[in-house]
Copies of this chain bind each other. A is one copy, B any other.
Amino acid sequence: MATIKQVADAAGVSFKTVSRVVNDDPNVSADTRARVLDAINALGYRPNLVARNMRTRRTHLLGLVADEIATTPFAVNLIKGAQDAAWKRGFMLMIVNGDNDAQRTEDAIETLLERKVEGMIYATMRHEVIDPPPNLIEAPSVLANCRCADSRIASVVPDDEKGGFDATEVLIRSGRRRIALINLEEIAAAAQARQTGYRRALALHRLPYDEALVRYTDDGQPDDGYHRMNELLALDTRPDAVFCANDRIAMGAYDAIKEHGLRIPHDIAVVGYDNQEVIAAYLRPALTTMALPHYEMGYWAVEYLTHAAAQGERAVEQGTLPCPLIMRESV
């Protein structure tokens, strides 16, 4: 716990000179610099960032408020991306949970504000349109994986429409003609966008849109996928491909397909969504799916904030990041 003054005394210089050395100020002779560095090592001196932050009025701190963190663990990639970008820019992240509770979220943001974060990211686990916490905008902020209706806050979201399009098109290109869609719950923003992309791909390739081939799940879980797939397989003319709006649905669909004695992808091709590694990579056959750009969104959000912090105000941007196709063995 040596202080800058003690280092100065030990090195026989003023404490300001120590400050210069610590901050790589060129205006220090090589000689004194060496003596100061010796003293620093000898005393185990470490600059006190709390004091520096107070003086410079900068904290190099970013807040990350997540609605929930544990339930969709693959979304930690968003945090990872934010961490990596922050580290690169010399920032640190303070991560807090809103626990899907408005008051709790507001309190969490309040604490972040008191700690003088230089920006905040508000991240949701599912892509949706939200009503942002009121105090969020008291610091420069970005919404990640969600956006607000009036677009007054910067945001970055996955391009689910294009994702839906690409998923459908890869099936079409593999020669399939009756392509079913097992979607998420109908109201979800992601569900609508993916379905729009699905329809656009069908239309582009002059395939009919058949409502009988489109099903919705209640909560996007494997059981849902299993039952919806069974319904599809009971159709007079069964589909030869299915686009599942997430990998868990696909997991259930796999079971239904296998129980019917059908083979993937020979009889039915399957594309999932989310690239939830633990499912997609391990299903047999491995699942072809669309990856969500969680890492990239986290990275984007921090880049946006650090640039905003560096350059003062800047235009409110709305980022849209692509969902890459991950080819495996189910198409």
Contact = CB atoms under 8 A, between A and B. Distances in A.
Interface stretch (A68-76, A185-193, A304-312): A68-76
A94 to B, nearest CB: 6
A35 interface: no
A282 B221 CA distance: 8
Contact of A116 (B49, B96, B248, B255): B49
Contact of A69 (B80, B92, B115, B116): B80
B116 A97 contact: no
Among A46, A47, A221, A276, residue most surrounded by chain B Cβ atoms (within 10 Å)? A46
Contacts of A76: 69-70, 73, 76
- Copies of this chain: 2
Contacts of A79: 69, 95
Contacts of A116: 48-50
A223 to B, nearest CB: 8
A83 B96 contact: yes
A276 B278 CA distance: 9
Contacts of A251: 282
B97 A83 contact: yes
Contact of A278 (B46, B73, B84, B255): B73
Given A80-B70, A255-B284, A46 B279 contact: no
Contacts of A49: 114-116
Contacts of A73: 73-74, 76, 278
A74 B94 CA distance: 20
Contacts of A284: 222, 226, 255
B54 A51 contact: yes
A54 B115 CA distance: 12
A136 to B, nearest CB: 14
Contacts of A318: none
30 contacts: A46-B114, A47-B114, A48-B114, A48-B116, A49-B114, A50-B53, A51-B54, A69-B76, A69-B80, A70-B76, A70-B77, A70-B80, A73-B74, A73-B76, A73-B278, A83-B96, A83-B97, A84-B97, A87-B96, A92-B94, A92-B96, A93-B94, A93-B95, A221-B282, A222-B282, A226-B284, A248-B282, A252-B282, A278-B278, A278-B279
Given A50-B50, A73-B76, A222-B282, 5 more contacts: A49-B116, A50-B115, A69-B80, A84-B97, A92-B96
